Amino acid sequence: MPEGSPARPVVEVEHVTRTFGPVTALDDVSLAVEPGEAVGVLGPNGAGKSTLLSLLAGLRRPDAGTVRVAGGDPRVARNRARIGVTPQATGLPQTLKVGEVVDFVAGHHRDALPRDEVLGRFDLAEFSRRQCGALSGGQQRRLCVALAFVGNPEVVLLDEPTTGLDVPARMGLWDSIRSFVHDGGTLLLTSHYLEEVAALAGRVVVVDHGRILAEGSVDEIRGRTATRRVRFSAGEVPDEILTGADVLTQAPRWELLVADSDRLVTELVRRGVEFRDLEVTGASLEEAFLALTGPGAAA
Protein backbone atom coordinates (compact mmCIF):
# COMPACT_ATOMS: atom_id res chain seq x y z
CA MET A 1 0.00 0.00 0.00
CA PRO A 2 1.53 3.40 -0.96
CA GLU A 3 2.44 5.56 2.00
CA GLY A 4 -0.26 7.97 3.08
CA SER A 5 -3.07 6.44 1.07
CA PRO A 6 -5.83 5.46 3.46
CA ALA A 7 -6.79 1.78 3.55
CA ARG A 8 -10.19 1.02 2.16
CA PRO A 9 -12.92 0.73 4.80
CA VAL A 10 -13.62 -2.83 5.91
CA VAL A 11 -17.33 -2.11 6.18
CA GLU A 12 -18.89 0.09 3.52
CA VAL A 13 -22.59 0.83 3.64
CA GLU A 14 -23.68 3.34 1.03
CA HIS A 15 -27.15 4.86 0.88
CA VAL A 16 -28.80 1.66 1.97
CA THR A 17 -32.56 1.42 2.22
CA ARG A 18 -34.36 -1.71 3.28
CA THR A 19 -38.09 -2.17 3.82
CA PHE A 20 -40.12 -5.09 5.11
CA GLY A 21 -43.59 -4.64 3.69
CA PRO A 22 -44.84 -1.31 5.03
CA VAL A 23 -41.98 -0.98 7.56
CA THR A 24 -38.85 0.94 6.59
CA ALA A 25 -36.14 -0.74 8.64
CA LEU A 26 -33.26 1.28 7.16
CA ASP A 27 -33.70 4.61 5.46
CA ASP A 28 -30.76 5.82 3.32
CA VAL A 29 -28.07 4.75 5.79
CA SER A 30 -24.38 5.24 5.06
CA LEU A 31 -21.61 3.99 7.30
CA ALA A 32 -17.91 3.21 6.91
CA VAL A 33 -15.71 1.31 9.33
CA GLU A 34 -11.95 1.55 8.87
CA PRO A 35 -9.61 -1.42 9.35
CA GLY A 36 -8.86 -1.98 13.02
CA GLU A 37 -11.70 0.25 14.14
CA ALA A 38 -14.30 -0.79 16.71
CA VAL A 39 -17.71 0.75 16.13
CA GLY A 40 -20.79 0.39 18.25
CA VAL A 41 -24.26 0.78 16.78
CA LEU A 42 -26.53 1.95 19.54
CA GLY A 43 -30.29 2.08 19.37
CA PRO A 44 -33.49 0.85 20.96
CA ASN A 45 -35.22 -2.35 19.85
CA GLY A 46 -36.66 -1.97 16.39
CA ALA A 47 -34.27 0.84 15.48
CA GLY A 48 -32.85 -1.04 12.51
CA LYS A 49 -29.70 -2.44 14.18
CA SER A 50 -30.50 -6.07 13.47
CA THR A 51 -31.46 -5.30 9.89
CA LEU A 52 -28.14 -3.53 9.40
CA LEU A 53 -26.31 -6.52 10.83
CA SER A 54 -28.25 -9.00 8.68
CA LEU A 55 -27.26 -7.02 5.57
CA LEU A 56 -23.60 -7.06 6.63
CA ALA A 57 -23.75 -10.81 7.35
CA GLY A 58 -25.20 -11.49 3.90
CA LEU A 59 -28.53 -12.73 5.25
CA ARG A 60 -30.53 -9.99 3.56
CA ARG A 61 -30.05 -7.77 0.57
CA PRO A 62 -30.70 -4.03 0.48
CA ASP A 63 -33.59 -2.64 -1.57
CA ALA A 64 -31.33 0.22 -2.61
CA GLY A 65 -27.69 1.10 -2.04
CA THR A 66 -24.64 -1.10 -1.66
CA VAL A 67 -23.12 -3.14 1.14
CA ARG A 68 -19.50 -4.27 1.03
CA VAL A 69 -17.68 -6.11 3.78
CA ALA A 70 -13.96 -6.91 3.67
CA GLY A 71 -13.92 -5.79 0.07
CA GLY A 72 -16.75 -7.96 -1.24
CA ASP A 73 -20.47 -8.57 -1.33
CA PRO A 74 -21.38 -10.61 1.78
CA ARG A 75 -24.12 -12.34 -0.25
CA VAL A 76 -21.33 -14.28 -1.95
CA ALA A 77 -20.43 -17.26 0.25
CA ARG A 78 -16.69 -17.04 -0.40
CA ASN A 79 -16.57 -13.45 0.88
CA ARG A 80 -18.14 -14.50 4.15
CA ALA A 81 -14.92 -16.32 5.07
CA ARG A 82 -13.60 -12.92 6.21
CA ILE A 83 -16.61 -12.17 8.39
CA GLY A 84 -17.32 -13.61 11.84
CA VAL A 85 -20.92 -13.66 13.02
CA THR A 86 -22.53 -14.71 16.29
CA PRO A 87 -25.56 -17.02 16.33
CA GLN A 88 -28.41 -16.38 18.73
CA ALA A 89 -27.78 -18.03 22.10
CA THR A 90 -30.87 -20.19 21.80
CA GLY A 91 -29.76 -21.35 18.39
CA LEU A 92 -26.92 -23.77 19.13
CA PRO A 93 -27.48 -27.34 17.95
CA GLN A 94 -28.43 -28.90 21.27
CA THR A 95 -27.09 -32.39 20.62
CA LEU A 96 -23.65 -31.40 19.34
CA LYS A 97 -20.75 -31.03 21.76
CA VAL A 98 -18.99 -27.71 22.27
CA GLY A 99 -15.80 -28.93 20.59
CA GLU A 100 -17.80 -30.33 17.67
CA VAL A 101 -19.57 -27.03 17.04
CA VAL A 102 -16.24 -25.22 17.04
CA ASP A 103 -14.76 -27.83 14.66
CA PHE A 104 -17.81 -27.57 12.42
CA VAL A 105 -17.50 -23.81 12.03
CA ALA A 106 -13.71 -24.15 11.66
CA GLY A 107 -14.28 -26.68 8.86
CA HIS A 108 -15.58 -23.86 6.65
CA HIS A 109 -12.21 -22.13 6.72
CA ARG A 110 -8.77 -22.97 5.45
CA ASP A 111 -7.01 -21.04 8.20
CA ALA A 112 -9.23 -21.37 11.25
CA LEU A 113 -7.90 -20.86 14.75
CA PRO A 114 -6.99 -24.07 16.60
CA ARG A 115 -9.93 -25.35 18.64
CA ASP A 116 -8.08 -25.18 21.97
CA GLU A 117 -7.07 -21.60 21.38
CA VAL A 118 -10.68 -20.55 20.76
CA LEU A 119 -12.00 -22.47 23.75
CA GLY A 120 -9.21 -21.18 25.98
CA ARG A 121 -9.70 -17.58 24.98
CA PHE A 122 -13.39 -17.74 25.81
CA ASP A 123 -12.96 -19.74 29.00
CA LEU A 124 -14.70 -22.81 27.59
CA ALA A 125 -11.86 -25.37 27.58
CA GLU A 126 -13.39 -27.51 30.32
CA PHE A 127 -16.71 -27.80 28.43
CA SER A 128 -15.28 -29.06 25.17
CA ARG A 129 -16.95 -32.48 25.51
CA ARG A 130 -20.26 -31.23 26.86
CA GLN A 131 -23.37 -31.04 24.65
CA CYS A 132 -24.49 -27.50 23.89
CA GLY A 133 -27.91 -28.20 25.36
CA ALA A 134 -26.29 -28.91 28.74
CA LEU A 135 -24.50 -25.54 28.96
CA SER A 136 -25.75 -22.73 31.17
CA GLY A 137 -27.12 -19.60 29.52
CA GLY A 138 -23.89 -17.72 30.14
CA GLN A 139 -21.75 -20.53 28.74
CA GLN A 140 -23.94 -20.74 25.61
CA ARG A 141 -23.55 -16.99 25.18
CA ARG A 142 -19.76 -17.29 25.43
CA LEU A 143 -19.72 -20.11 22.89
CA CYS A 144 -21.87 -18.09 20.49
CA VAL A 145 -19.51 -15.13 20.67
CA ALA A 146 -16.49 -17.46 20.38
CA LEU A 147 -17.89 -18.91 17.13
CA ALA A 148 -17.58 -15.49 15.48
CA PHE A 149 -13.81 -15.64 15.96
CA VAL A 150 -13.19 -19.26 14.91
CA GLY A 151 -12.54 -18.47 11.23
CA ASN A 152 -9.84 -15.92 12.05
CA PRO A 153 -11.95 -13.18 10.45
CA GLU A 154 -11.01 -9.68 9.35
CA VAL A 155 -14.21 -8.24 10.73
CA VAL A 156 -16.47 -9.49 13.50
CA LEU A 157 -20.15 -8.58 13.75
CA LEU A 158 -21.65 -8.95 17.22
CA ASP A 159 -25.34 -8.55 18.00
CA GLU A 160 -25.94 -7.65 21.65
CA PRO A 161 -22.97 -9.81 22.71
CA THR A 162 -23.48 -9.75 26.47
CA THR A 163 -27.22 -9.30 26.85
CA GLY A 164 -28.46 -11.27 29.82
CA LEU A 165 -25.04 -11.95 31.37
CA ASP A 166 -24.07 -11.12 34.94
CA VAL A 167 -21.34 -8.56 35.56
CA PRO A 168 -18.28 -10.86 35.92
CA ALA A 169 -19.30 -12.87 32.85
CA ARG A 170 -19.81 -9.67 30.91
CA MET A 171 -16.38 -8.32 31.91
CA GLY A 172 -14.70 -11.57 30.90
CA LEU A 173 -16.35 -11.58 27.51
CA TRP A 174 -15.48 -7.94 26.94
CA ASP A 175 -11.81 -8.73 27.64
CA SER A 176 -11.85 -11.51 25.02
CA ILE A 177 -13.47 -9.25 22.44
CA ARG A 178 -11.09 -6.39 23.18
CA SER A 179 -8.06 -8.59 22.58
CA PHE A 180 -9.31 -9.17 19.01
CA VAL A 181 -9.50 -5.43 18.39
CA HIS A 182 -6.15 -4.96 20.08
CA ASP A 183 -4.64 -7.40 17.59
CA GLY A 184 -5.90 -5.32 14.68
CA GLY A 185 -9.30 -6.85 14.02
CA THR A 186 -12.27 -4.75 12.96
CA LEU A 187 -15.35 -4.88 15.15
CA LEU A 188 -18.91 -3.77 14.62
CA LEU A 189 -21.33 -4.43 17.42
CA THR A 190 -24.89 -3.49 18.16
CA SER A 191 -26.25 -2.89 21.60
CA HIS A 192 -28.83 -0.97 23.47
CA TYR A 193 -26.43 -0.42 26.35
CA LEU A 194 -24.16 2.58 26.02
CA GLU A 195 -22.02 0.95 28.72
CA GLU A 196 -21.31 -2.02 26.50
CA VAL A 197 -20.55 0.13 23.49
CA ALA A 198 -18.29 2.34 25.63
CA ALA A 199 -16.39 -0.71 26.86
CA LEU A 200 -15.71 -2.12 23.40
CA ALA A 201 -15.95 0.58 20.76
CA GLY A 202 -14.11 3.79 20.02
CA ARG A 203 -16.86 5.23 17.85
CA VAL A 204 -20.59 5.22 18.38
CA VAL A 205 -23.34 5.40 15.80
CA VAL A 206 -26.78 6.10 17.22
CA VAL A 207 -29.66 4.80 15.12
CA ASP A 208 -33.40 4.93 15.45
CA HIS A 209 -36.27 4.56 13.03
CA GLY A 210 -33.86 3.32 10.41
CA ARG A 211 -31.74 6.46 10.38
CA ILE A 212 -28.41 7.49 11.85
CA LEU A 213 -29.17 10.17 14.43
CA ALA A 214 -25.74 10.86 15.81
CA GLU A 215 -22.19 9.70 15.29
CA GLY A 216 -19.04 10.39 17.24
CA SER A 217 -16.54 9.18 19.77
CA VAL A 218 -17.85 7.59 22.93
CA ASP A 219 -17.02 10.78 24.87
CA GLU A 220 -18.80 13.00 22.37
CA ILE A 221 -21.94 10.91 22.53
CA ARG A 222 -21.70 10.81 26.29
CA GLY A 223 -21.37 14.60 26.32
CA ARG A 224 -24.41 15.02 24.14
CA THR A 225 -26.36 12.83 26.45
CA ALA A 226 -25.31 14.50 29.74
CA THR A 227 -28.88 15.05 30.65
CA ARG A 228 -30.99 15.85 33.69
CA ARG A 229 -34.53 14.79 34.28
CA VAL A 230 -36.72 17.54 35.75
CA ARG A 231 -40.23 16.94 37.07
CA PHE A 232 -42.63 19.54 38.44
CA SER A 233 -46.33 20.33 38.62
CA ALA A 234 -47.48 23.51 36.89
CA GLY A 235 -50.00 24.89 34.43
CA GLU A 236 -48.75 26.62 31.28
CA VAL A 237 -45.01 27.01 30.78
CA PRO A 238 -43.70 29.63 28.31
CA ASP A 239 -42.22 28.11 25.16
CA GLU A 240 -38.90 29.97 25.57
CA ILE A 241 -38.19 27.99 28.71
CA LEU A 242 -38.78 24.72 26.88
CA THR A 243 -36.39 25.48 24.04
CA GLY A 244 -33.86 22.67 23.82
CA ALA A 245 -35.67 20.52 26.35
CA ASP A 246 -37.17 17.16 25.57
CA VAL A 247 -40.72 17.28 26.87
CA LEU A 248 -41.83 13.84 28.00
CA THR A 249 -45.10 14.85 29.69
CA GLN A 250 -46.95 18.16 29.89
CA ALA A 251 -49.29 19.86 32.38
CA PRO A 252 -50.31 19.19 35.05
CA ARG A 253 -47.18 17.14 35.78
CA TRP A 254 -44.30 18.14 33.56
CA GLU A 255 -41.38 15.87 32.87
CA LEU A 256 -38.46 17.24 30.89
CA LEU A 257 -35.04 16.06 29.88
CA VAL A 258 -32.63 19.00 29.70
CA ALA A 259 -28.92 19.56 29.40
CA ASP A 260 -28.83 22.29 32.10
CA SER A 261 -31.35 21.84 34.89
CA ASP A 262 -30.06 24.87 36.85
CA ARG A 263 -30.88 27.16 33.95
CA LEU A 264 -34.34 25.67 33.58
CA VAL A 265 -35.21 26.14 37.26
CA THR A 266 -33.80 29.68 37.25
CA GLU A 267 -35.95 30.51 34.24
CA LEU A 268 -39.05 29.07 35.87
CA VAL A 269 -38.51 31.28 38.91
CA ARG A 270 -37.51 34.37 36.90
CA ARG A 271 -40.61 34.17 34.73
CA GLY A 272 -42.83 33.62 37.71
CA VAL A 273 -44.13 30.22 36.69
CA GLU A 274 -45.97 28.77 39.65
CA PHE A 275 -44.64 25.29 40.15
CA ARG A 276 -44.43 22.83 43.02
CA ASP A 277 -43.06 19.35 43.82
CA LEU A 278 -39.84 20.00 41.90
CA GLU A 279 -37.63 16.96 41.35
CA VAL A 280 -34.29 16.97 39.59
CA THR A 281 -32.57 13.67 38.93
CA GLY A 282 -29.62 12.68 36.80
CA ALA A 283 -30.84 10.83 33.80
CA SER A 284 -29.15 7.46 33.41
CA LEU A 285 -27.15 6.84 30.30
CA GLU A 286 -29.99 4.72 29.06
CA GLU A 287 -32.47 7.53 29.62
CA ALA A 288 -30.16 10.08 28.13
CA PHE A 289 -29.79 7.90 25.13
CA LEU A 290 -33.55 7.56 24.88
CA ALA A 291 -33.72 11.34 24.92
CA LEU A 292 -31.47 11.32 21.90
CA THR A 293 -33.63 8.82 20.05
CA GLY A 294 -37.03 9.67 21.49
CA PRO A 295 -39.79 11.59 19.74
CA GLY A 296 -38.72 15.09 18.88
CA ALA A 297 -35.08 14.34 19.51
CA ALA A 298 -34.12 14.41 15.88
CA ALA A 299 -35.70 17.83 15.37
Question: Which residues make up the interface to another protein (CB under 8 A)?
Answer: 57-61, 70, 77-83, 85, 87-88, 90-93, 95-96, 100, 104-105, 107-111, 131, 151-154
Nearer to another protein, 66 or 250 (CB): 66
Nearer to another protein, 57 or 214 (CB): 57
- Smallest distance from the beta carbon of 108 to another protein, in angstroms? 5
CB 49 within 8 A of CB 43: yes
> 20 has which bridge partners?
23
- Smallest distance from the beta carbon of 77 to another protein, in angstroms? 4
| Cα–Cα distance, 70 to 155 (Å, whole number) | 7
User: In this structure, how many other beta carbons lie within 10 angstroms of the beta carbon of residue 94?
Assistant: 12
Q: What is the dihedral of CA 164, 169, 170, 174, to 10 degrees?
A: -140
- Smallest distance from the beta carbon of 18 to another protein, in angstroms? 11
The closest of 92, 100, 181, 171 to 132, measured between CA atoms, is: 92
Nearer to another protein, 104 or 171 (CB): 104
For 208-243, b/e burial (b = at least 16 CB within 10 A) is bbbbbbbeeebeebbebbebbbbbbebeebeeebbe
Nearer to another protein, 37 or 208 (CB): 37
| Cα–Cα distance, 265 to 229 (Å, whole number) | 12
| Cα–Cα distance, 64 to 218 (Å, whole number) | 30
- Smallest distance from the beta carbon of 82 to another protein, in angstroms? 5
Nearer to another protein, 36 or 202 (CB): 36
- Smallest distance from the beta carbon of 143 to another protein, in angstroms? 12
